[in-house]
Amino acid sequence: MRVLLADDHPLALAAVRVLLEGAADLEVVGEARSGSQVLPRAREAKPDIVVLDLNLPELDGLTCLERLTAEFPKAAVVVCSGEANEDDVEAVRLGGARAFVAKAGDPDEIPVALRAAAAGEPFRVYGAPERRRRPNEDLGLSERETTLLQTLARGLSNQEIGKELWITEQTVKFHLTNVYRKLGVENRTQATRVAYEHGLV
């Protein structure tokens, strides 16, 4: 199978090329070092598989993916990237890629991913992508405490918060005490400011 590599890091290109040289069924037929080179190289090389980095100069990887799948629907695109989170992986999947390979994962998974993608197997992630922390996790808040903080920021009283969340006013006070302690604040105004600063409201 003919493989086109697209990555702006020469060392990454060389590493993948060496890795694939040991695979008799995978032949590297071209390289692109910027997003603007991807489609012209694909037209020249007519690859069965494109290994695409997300962070390309001139034209980003997701845009390249969209154009590749439109112009070369039979080519299997495998995104191989070092910096990615769950949102990126989902965007790649929706964009038509056949697989996502984390560069920090096991290098031996790359040929496996390419063969699976070329065979038309369902989208799969190889190597765990970086998990994006939610704002409430950065603050150490539970989901319930986060919800309560959001209602607090809307200016609701303890009684109104209790009615909205179906909890007693005493339970609201208990949660507020924990929220204030975790945020290092003393009152509603300070807690609301922290909520805004961390994008919770």
Residue boundaries of the structural domains of the chain: 2-126, 135-197
Gap between the Cα atoms of 56 and 47, Å rounded: 19
Query: Under DSSP, is residue 45 helix (H, G, I), strand (E, B) or coil?
Result: helix
| 180-188: long-range pairs with CB below 8 Å, 24+ | 182/139, 182/140, 182/141, 182/145, 183/139, 188/152
pLDDT higher than threshold 90 for residue 49: yes
Give just the sign of the alpha carbon dihedral 83, 110, 89, 92.
positive
pLDDT tens per residue, range 64-88: 999 999 999 999 999 988 766 777 8
pLDDT higher than threshold 80 for residue 40: yes
* pLDDT tier for residue 135 given thresholds of 50, 70 and 90: low
Gap between the Cα atoms of 149 and 141, Å rounded: 9
R_g of the chain, CA atoms, integer Å = 24
Contact 42, 13 (CB under 8 A): no
Number of H helices, E strands in the chain: 10, 6
User: What's the pTM value of the predicted model, to 2 decimals?
Assistant: 0.64
* pLDDT tier for residue 9 given thresholds of 50, 70 and 90: confident
How much is the average pLDDT of 124-141? 67
* One fold for 2-126 and 135-197: no
Percent of the chain with pLDDT over 90: 45
Give just the sign of the alpha carbon dihedral 42, 88, 120, 116.
positive
Strands (DSSP E) contained in 97-158 are 99-102, 124-126
* pLDDT tier for residue 155 given thresholds of 50, 70 and 90: confident
What is the reported pLDDT for 138? Answer: 66
CATH number of 135-197: 1.10.10.10
**Average pLDDT taken over every residue of the chain:** 88
Topology classification of domain 2-126: Rossmann fold (3.40.50)
Is 171 exposed, middle or buried, given 0-12, 13-18 or 19+ CB atoms closer than 10 A?
middle
Percent of the chain with pLDDT over 70: 93
Is 79 exposed, middle or buried, given 0-12, 13-18 or 19+ CB atoms closer than 10 A?
buried
Please name the residues in contact with 127: beta carbons below 8 A apart, sequence gap of 6 or more. 101, 102, 103, 104, 105, 106, 109
How much is the average pLDDT of 10-25? 87
Residue 43: CA count within 13 A, CB half-sphere: 7
What is the reported pLDDT for 86? Answer: 77
* pLDDT tier for residue 29 given thresholds of 50, 70 and 90: very high
* pLDDT tier for residue 32 given thresholds of 50, 70 and 90: very high
